Amino acid sequence: MTNTTNKRVGKKMIGVVLSLSVAFAGSMLLTPKTTHAATDAQVASKIIAKGKQYMGTPYRFGAKAGITSAFDCSSFVQYIYKKYGVNLPRGSKDQAKRGVKVLKKNLKKGDLIFSDTNRDGKINHVSIYIGNGKVLQTYRVGIGVTISNFKGSIWDRTFVTARDVI
């Protein structure tokens, strides 16, 4: 009888220990939103700083992915974000399908802004929101990678969507 009682107590103890282990392990997977947000903000700052290193780099439509001697808007975004572990497709239209939709009024640093600058119903431009109503982008021969005002600009007037991809 004591042997049977000992076995039952042992099984209950194992059950309690396993339950606590599962609960503890599960709580380790949950990270507070503030920690995640701080990490996102840090990554966004690094992406923006990296992008600024290419200020003045020439614009070339259809620039090859991965090169830094010239960019078009989407190759620039793809290259910079990839440096920080965010893999994006090559074209702006496909990039606009990634991440989480962001309302224009809720833009934060590091969000991607997608526009239809030739007003044909198709996304054809992407820029990086850097805060204070400004974007980091490349868009025309003779200008290259630059910082531009967003509010009231062609990119604002032809805004289609914004995405948080970080």
Which stretch of DSSP H or E encloses residue 138?
strand 134-138
Q: Which of 53, 73, 78, 95 is catalytic?
A: 73
Q: Residues 78, 156: one domain?
A: yes
Q: Residues 18, 69: one domain?
A: no
Q: Residues 48, 114: one domain?
A: yes
Q: Residues 49, 6: one domain?
A: no
Q: Which of 42, 78, 95, 137 is catalytic?
A: 137
Q: Respond yes or no: is residue 125 known to be catalytic.
A: yes
Q: Residues 123, 102: one domain?
A: yes
Q: Residues 92, 77: one domain?
A: yes
Q: Residues 60, 14: one domain?
A: no
Which stretch of DSSP H or E encloses residue 35?
helix 33-52
Q: Respond yes or no: is residue 73 known to be catalytic.
A: yes
Q: Residues 152, 108: one domain?
A: yes
CATH number of the domain bearing residue 59: 3.90.1720.10
**Buried b / exposed e along 8-26 (16+ C-beta atoms within 10 A):** eeeeeeeeeeeeeeeeeee
Q: Residues 54, 82: one domain?
A: yes
Instruction: Give the structural domain span for 20.
Output: 1-30
Q: pLDDT (tens digit, 0 to 9) for every residue of the chain, 166 residues total?
A: 555 555 555 555 555 544 544 444 444 444 444 456 669 999 999 999 999 999 999 999 999 999 999 999 999 999 999 999 999 999 999 999 999 999 999 999 999 999 999 999 999 999 999 999 999 999 999 999 999 999 999 999 999 999 999 9
Q: Rounded distance, CA 88 to CA 128, Å?
A: 13
Q: Rounded distance, CA 21 to CA 139, Å?
A: 54
